[in-house]
Structure 1
Amino acid sequence: MPREENPLAAVVAVVCMVTLLDAADKRRFRPALGWIARWLRARPVLYWLTLLIVVFGGLALWTVDRQPTYGRWLVADEYCYLACLVWIVLYLLFYDLKPGQLRSMGIKLAKSPFTGILITLTTLLILFTGLETYLRLFYITTDSYGFTAMNYHWYANFYWGKYNSLGFRDYEPIPDRPGLTRIAILGDSFAMGHGIDNIDDTFPQLLERALGADYDVNVIAHSGWDTDIQLFQLQSYPLKPDIVFLSYYLNDIDYLLTATDADPDRNFDTPNNPALSWFILNFFVPNFAYYNLMQFTSAARSTNFVADLTAAYTDDALWSQQAQRLFEIVVWCRENDIDLRVLLWPHIRELDASQAAIDQLRGFFEVQQIPVIDMTPILRDNPSPGLIVNRFDTHPGLDAQRLAAAALYNSIMGTRAD
């Protein structure tokens, strides 16, 4: 994304240059800068407030302009900006500082009724900055819906740019050779391993290792893909698979619901207040507090999300459109002599609430004589915290990945999935 010129950075750079020149030629700049410093230090409360504005205002403006919640790598001009900001703060602290001034300022602050307010404000700003730094640099996690600040952080570390030459989160495919069976996993975030840090722990890779050297399992999946795009992606894949597993999750119908009153994501909208919404979208601390602690922990919101999804499968108009898309995948695989099988994922935390949609899907594929692996009974029979990624993310966790790999292995080997 192109970066626009930041006028704030230019102002900071000019101030920094002036102070640097003053250090070299005190006769030229000392009268003006010295007067400002003396005037502020004679008013300790205002001096303290000025330092807070420079430090935290400078950091906040840089963060919003250059490091929003979807994350970016630092570039050279940002390092220069931060270095200039540090220099200006040091200059404000120590420029033309006379012996005894600190003691005099301390006496005035002790008598000021605003000192307590400043101490509280400073403490809150330091705590906020510390938490913001921790969440931005060290707290790497995901959420179910893929739009929180921490989720973008995970994408930056484990997803974006971690692709093979075909653009998928997968190892390079093995070239065709006699005796090689090629298996494609077609899907969305469930298939690409959303929230699973190590690609080797995702069910496509677990399946490939279990099958051995005569099989190559290829991932054709990206986060956010719905049924409307999956056939095109399968057709565009340069290597023809012998077997395709369609990894289907309930929200693969979401393309029919987006921007409508039935859109499940509306359960997690940002606030209507523009100022509060801006704050949440630009900083990790309020983003985490609003989404992770208030929205995602709400059982009602999660239930409503699943209810909105399952309702789409009982809506005749919506289901007929989705069934047509699925039928096109079935037909194309038959015409190209590809063995199509389906892996059905329920909402892992809402197994019972997902059942109506799962039954609709399973019935459709069974009529088409497509083998179906329904993960619902498998997940129900193997309860564990590891079925989901984390308490904010109900994508398949490490245990669910292993169960899915075992189910696919049994399907390929012609045995029953336990």
Structure 2
Amino acid sequence: MASKIVTSCIRLLLLSVLFVFLFYPDKFHLVLDYPGRPQSDSFYIRLAKSVFWLLLMIEILRIFYYGVVKSKAKGLAANVVTLVVPLIVVLIFLEMIFMYVPQSHEGVLSKASQIWWEKYWKPVNAQNYRDREILNDTTKKAVLVIGDSFAAGHGLENLDERFSNQLEAKLGANNHVVYNLGVSGSDTRDEAARLMRYPVKPDVIVLQYFPNDIEKVAREKGLTLTGAEPYADLTGSWATLVKRFYLPNFVYWQLPHTAFSTFEEFVNKAYTDTTVLNAHFRDLSVMLDYRDSSRAEMYAVFVPFLFQLDKSAAYTKPVEDFLKSRGVTVVRLTDGVAKIADKDRVVGKNDGHAGPAVNTLMAERVFEAMKKKSN
């Protein structure tokens, strides 16, 4: 029995080398290159980690069997091991399970959201947007939807539920084609640049606007947002544990973190600071100049903070007024969102992006505005 325990210990030593390469490659300046990196572990990386955990579990059980069960060991040490080993095995088993559990979050920050991203963020076209490829059909009116994660449909597993896809269905795919240029984390300056680079000249531009679109320019002008960095509340070994392993990471992201009020205060300052606003207007003007040069119609659909409707509308009113003064048709959602049940406004309890009901409202309101303008 002693020899079997020794051989298991040797195998555990060899597994520890594999553990370092799989879970801490950065510590040795190693780069594992695979599709999806560095956004998420690929399926094959997770499969390799699963095999590691399975082998580890087998060796632990083997040592337990020969060291305690078969030897009929007794005493305090044997009792402690008898309690600890099943707990370790259960934790390993749960770690393996949560390596395959997708769950969307605000951003692609949690490991569960990375799994979700790998599974559902499809299709991705040649321009790297979550959209189909560009059609070679100049007979159809081209509608370009530009925006951030709300435009891209973050949290929506079925793209038919996304407002740009619904808008195309309402306009009629026979004479309209709607392209989605949504990118998570994008701000107005980035959106303007991407819009101008897109290889299709628009007949219609639909800007999806969210109150955090001003965030980057506000930071540039000196406003600070504290406590918003992911994992900022973790230090030392806890940070390592949560960042690198799936089970503790999943548990961590089920807990509340930075309060919304912190970001609310930041946004309030940004929209009342004339220096920030004027810089934001300059970024918007770049997009408007492109609209003018392409002779396109332009609509701006304002997505509010989905649980701070009135405050959100007050924050973004200066931007609405600016866009209206430049001939943009502003589409509001606040009254419609207020009629949608709280749980149906978002895609999930851990993800505040717009759910299918809000996307349907967006498509209906933009379609109505386009129909009204064409009459």
| Pairwise CA distance, 1:93 | 5.7
Name which of structure 1's ranges 351-360 and 54-63 shifts more when overlaid on structure 2: 54-63
* Alignment CA distance shift 1:412-1:74 (3 Å): same
Q: Secondary structure at the match of 2:240?
A: helix
Q: Decide whether the 8 Å contact of 1:203 with 1:401 is kept in 2.
A: yes
Residue 40 of structure 1 deviates from its aligned partner by: 5.5
Report the Cα distance in structure 1 between the residues aligned to 2:353 and 2:201, rounded to whole angstroms.
Answer: 28
Worse overlay, 73-82 or 312-321: 73-82
Quick one: distance in 2 between partners of 1:364 and 1:221? 22
Q: What is residue 314 of structure 2 aligned with on the other side?
A: 356
Q: What do you get for the CA RMSD once the two structures are aligned?
A: 3.7
Contact 1:192–1:223 under 8 Å retained in 2: yes
Match of 1:202 in 2: 162
> How far is 1:359 from its partner?
1.6
C-alpha separation in 2, matches of 1:377 and 1:142:
27
User: Shift of the alpha carbon at 1:370?
Assistant: 1.3
- Deviation track 1:337-369 (CA, whole Å, cap 9, x = no partner) reads 111110111111222332332222212212223
Q: Which residue of 2 aligns with 1:322?
A: 280
Residues 361-404 of structure 1: per-residue CA shift (max 9 Å, x gap): 21221222311011222211333522101011110101111111
Shifted more, 242-251 versus 270-279: the winner is: 270-279
CA distance in 2, matches of 1:54, 1:121: 20
Structure 2 stretches lacking a partner, 5+ long:
26-31, 33-37
Picking from 28, 37, 49, the partner of 2:3 is 37
Identify the residue that residue 89 of structure 1 maps to in structure 2.
59
Assess if the C-alpha contact under 8 Å between 1:245 and 1:342 holds in 2: yes
CA contact (8 A) 1:142 1:154 kept: yes
Q: Is 1:279–2:241 an aligned residue pair?
A: yes
Indicate which of 81, 86, 89 corresponds to 1:118.
81
Q: Are the counterparts in 2 of residues 303 and 350 from structure 1 also a CA contact under 8 Å?
A: no
Kindly tell me: are residues 177 and 116 of structure 1, through their superposed partners in 2, closer, same or farther at Cα, counting changes over 3 Å? same
Quote the residue 1:221 is aligned against.
Answer: 182
**Rounded Cα–Cα distance in structure 2 between residues aligned with 1:327 and 1:74:** 46
Please say if 1:71 is aligned against 2:51. Answer: no
The Cα shift of 1:165 comes to 2.7
Three-state SS of the structure 2 residue aligned to 1:245 is strand
- In structure 2, give the amino acid aligned to 1:209: A
Match of 2:108 among 146, 164, 174: 146
Match of 2:92 among 96, 105, 129: 129
Of stretches 67-76 and 148-157 in structure 1, the one that deviates more from structure 2 is 67-76
Deviations, residues 219-250 of structure 1 (Å, cap 9, x unaligned): 11211211121111111111111000011111
Contact (CA 8 Å) 1:250, 1:347: kept in 2 or not? yes
Unaligned runs of 5+ in 1: 1-33, 42-46
2:211 maps to a residue whose letter is L
* Contact kept in structure 2, 1:250 and 1:310, CA below 8 Å: no
Cα distance between partner residues in 1 of 2:284 and 2:119: 33
Q: TM-score, normalised by structure 1?
A: 0.75
What amino acid sits opposite 1:105 in the alignment? S
Equivalent pair of 1:173/1:216 in contact (CA under 8 Å): no
**Rounded Cα–Cα distance in structure 1 between residues aligned with 2:317 and 2:339:** 18
TM-score calculated relative to the size of structure 2: 0.83
1:42-77 Cα distance to aligned partner (Å, 9 max, x none): xxxxx8xx5996699678646524799932232699
Q: Distance in 1 between matches of 2:242 and 2:168?
A: 41
Q: 2:266 maps to what in 1?
A: 308
Aligned match of 2:193: 232
User: In the alignment, is the contact (CA less than 8 A) between 1:183 and 1:242 conserved in 2?
Assistant: yes
Q: Note closer, same or farther for the CA distance 1:388–1:52 as it changes in structure 2 (3 Å cut).
A: farther
Task: Name which of 292, 295, 298 aligns with 1:334.
Answer: 292
- Given that residues 132 and 283 in structure 1 are in contact (C-alpha distance below 8 angstroms), is that contact kept between their aligned partners in structure 2? yes
Aligned 8 A contact 1:228 1:255 in 2 = no
Give 1:174-193 correspondences, 5 Å limit.
174-178=135-139, 180-193=140-153
Q: Does 1:105 align with 2:71?
A: yes
Offset at residue 134 of structure 1 (A): 2.3
CA distance in 2, matches of 1:40, 1:226: 59
| Alpha-carbon distance change, 374 to 181 in structure 1, aligned in 2, over 3 angstroms | same
Amino acid at match of 1:219: N
Do the aligned residues in 1 keep the contact of 2:5 with 2:63 (CA within 8 Å)?
no
Offset from partner CA, 1:183-213 (integer Å, 9 cap, x none): 1100111111000011121111111112111
- Give the drift of 1:308: 1.9
Is the 1:69–1:281 contact (alpha carbons within 8 Å) kept by the matching residues of 2? no
How has the CA–CA distance of structure 1 residues 39 and 79 changed in structure 2, closer, same or farther, with 3 Å as cutoff? Answer: closer
Q: Percent identity?
A: 20
Counterpart in the other structure of 2:29: none
Alpha carbons 2:123, 2:132 under 8 Å: kept:
no
More divergent stretch after superposition (256-265 vs 271-280) = 256-265
Report the 3-state secondary structure (helix = DSSP H, G, I; strand = E; otherwise coil) of the residue aligned with 1:340.
Answer: strand
